[in-house]
Chain A
């Protein structure tokens, strides 16, 4: 067991997978010698050579398209998209190709691959280095969407994603890359892609969140506890396919729900959680289900701390739901 930051855990996960399986390839823009703009792939080229960890031309469509080809031909590609904001040229390859290949070929061709990309705000990155685009991808049958929030989960979920027979979009909360630390086991372990995680026990209210919003929820819950409100925090971890039974179980057991994400609200993932509970557990609810989200605006630069949900906004929602 070693204490690592989230980005060190990602690096450790890649290294573990590459050591075990020679078919694992890591590539993208600046991932080779430089080790990635956030240094997620630092040292991998040196250790595994230029054929297994390499820079590509600056084309997201090419990176993901080539990854699909490698995957169908026996390799395990782990492609990096430098910022999630830059993934959209590859949207066609992800949505129309990787996600549909097994289906459209009746299982003759498949694309077991991972696309890693840092998402979300918190680094003064403005419109194009801050977005949270998970909802676009969660609307895509055939794709898995995974978001870790702790170093332990980052490594375990990443190795599970590389093992997975289906294409996985692995969204890394860049705000947490170096701000969270935790114990990470040595060597291989996996965190399965089917279950959510209870990050904090509590009986009065359930807060559903993921990625960079988990620490925000924790801070809000601590303050709420001072006012006698005991919040449970659920880290969803795998958004697609969602652990629906887990969501419903936690929602029912507290009867009060707040959903939190930094992406815009309209058609955001919080709407899905809210609708799921409304459809299957409305009779358990003692208050409206409230969403705390980013605004329905592009992501601002100077005022990003106002855009991003913080513990104040979460606390407001907690109190509103609790005292309803």
Chain B
């Protein structure tokens, strides 16, 4: 398949040819810091998973610029409807990595109360980072409905919904894009085309020239950007957000990038991704790319980077230490939050479970392994 060339801003030497990101030095460094935090968080989670301390994780290596570039275009009042490979967006807006680590351990302080697998975050503060669902694409029409509500109340909130290349094959992608087009809803659709839906390459998802072109069929603009270029992503999302706030409706952005790792900690990508692809894309590492820009702008030195990374490692390790020592959620969390008020039949089942635990001791967890 021949693919169109994506828009890029940061040249290989770090120059941006007159592009003004409209970010302060502090904000630029915050972008960098967030990307490094994502990577360090992932590295540590991989070790935790390999040593059996957490069950599962989803790596983001290679996608960091897409996440952070997109997040940098949003205000705190905007909403993010993320996929499971997007937590850099929440970090950018100030969610504490500690909160995420509680979810990785599924402990009593996890916002999802240990009910979801790791990486299925949910946050409302300091930004709406919508509860992540495992089924693919279901959140897409939901983002459009939330946007309709905001539009009806004449708020200027924008709704960014993110999904992968595989997500474009889902029912939710079609209905969400279609509804947003018809309703002229303030939504930014961000397709992170990382090349692979678990083990299926994009040729097995679509016969079209990438994904941005699909926008035309829904009556909205489609933009193709280099997803490893933080400014290219930012530029496209800033434009799309402006359009949405002006009442001009939705935009689809395809950020072309590459997953420099497995789908998850349970997946071995060397079984299906050609080695040369890894090598090619490793050279296009989005963090290195941004470092080049910072270096060319005089904002970065290797020493500074080392210090920053060290600090982040300490921060994440301390989050691990804290989260690992928080107890499991109480048994009652199985039965609460099903409904606003616990109905009689669920209450009776809960009481029976408490009684059994009192009489026969706690249940013992099994040793099954997650396959994906």
Q: Which residues of A contact B (CB under 8 A)?
A: 25, 51, 56-57, 59, 61-62, 64-75, 77, 89, 92-93, 96-97, 101-110, 141-142, 144, 165-166, 194, 241-242, 244-245
Contact = CB atoms under 8 A, between A and B. Distances in A.
24 contacts: A56-B182, A61-B175, A62-B176, A66-B141, A67-B145, A69-B143, A69-B146, A69-B147, A70-B146, A71-B145, A73-B149, A74-B149, A74-B153, A93-B138, A96-B138, A97-B133, A97-B135, A103-B115, A103-B338, A106-B112, A108-B111, A142-B338, A241-B339, A242-B345
Contact of A62 (B133, B141, B152): B141
Nearest to A166: B339
B120 interface: yes
Interface stretch (B16-24, B44-52, B122-130): B122-130
B171 A92 contact: yes
Given A61-B141, A66-B141, A106 B344 contact: no
Interface residues of B, number: 46
B354 interface: no
B344 A65 contact: no
Nearest to A62: B175
Interface in B137-191: 138, 140-150, 152-153, 171-172, 174-176, 178-179, 182
A56 B180 CA distance: 11
Contact of B148 (A66, A106, A108): A66
Shortest 7 CB-CB distances between A and B: which pairs?
A69-B145, A65-B141, A62-B175, A66-B145, A105-B131, A69-B146, A241-B343
A241 B145 contact: no
Given A105-B122, A109-B124, 8 more contacts: A57-B182, A66-B148, A69-B147, A73-B150, A92-B135, A102-B337, A103-B337, A144-B339
B49 to A, nearest CB: 21
A73 B122 CA distance: 15
Contacts of A102: 337-340
A117 B79 CA distance: 31
Nearest to B130: A109
A56 B178 CA distance: 10
Contacts of B344: 241, 244-245
Interface of B: 79, 110-113, 115-116, 120, 122-124, 130-131, 133, 135, 138, 140-150, 152-153, 171-172, 174-176, 178-179, 182, 337-341, 343-346
B145 A57 contact: no
A110 B172 CA distance: 19
Contacts of B337: 102-103, 106-107
A96 B135 contact: yes
A97 B138 CA distance: 8
A194 B340 CA distance: 14
Contacts of B340: 102, 110, 165-166
Contacts of B171: 61, 89, 92
Nearest to B114: A106
Contact of B138 (A56, A73, A92, A103): A92
A304 B104 CA distance: 54
B140 A65 contact: yes
B145 A106 contact: no
Contacts of A73: 79, 145-146, 149-150
Given A65-B172, A96-B133, A142-B339, A104 B145 contact: no
B338 A65 contact: no
B159 to A, nearest CB: 8
Given A57-B179, A89-B171, A103-B337, A65 B135 contact: no
Contacts of B135: 92, 96-97
B148 A69 contact: yes
A62 to B, nearest CB: 3
A101 B148 contact: no
Contacts of B144: 62, 65-66, 69
B326 to A, nearest CB: 14
B160 to A, nearest CB: 13
A67 B113 CA distance: 25
Contact of A65 (B120, B145, B339, B343): B145
Given A62-B141, A65-B175, A108 B122 contact: yes
B134 to A, nearest CB: 8
B149 A70 contact: yes
Contact of B131 (A57, A93, A104, A165): A104
A267 to B, nearest CB: 18
B111 A105 contact: yes
A109 B337 CA distance: 11
Contacts of A166: 339-340
Given A65-B172, A92-B135, A104 B115 contact: yes
Nearest to A164: B340
Contacts of A92: 135, 138, 171
B133 A104 contact: yes
Contacts of A72: 130, 142, 146
A106 B138 contact: no
B178 A57 contact: yes
Nearest to A112: B340
B80 to A, nearest CB: 12
A242 B346 CA distance: 11
Contacts of B147: 69
A74 B148 CA distance: 11
B175 A57 contact: yes
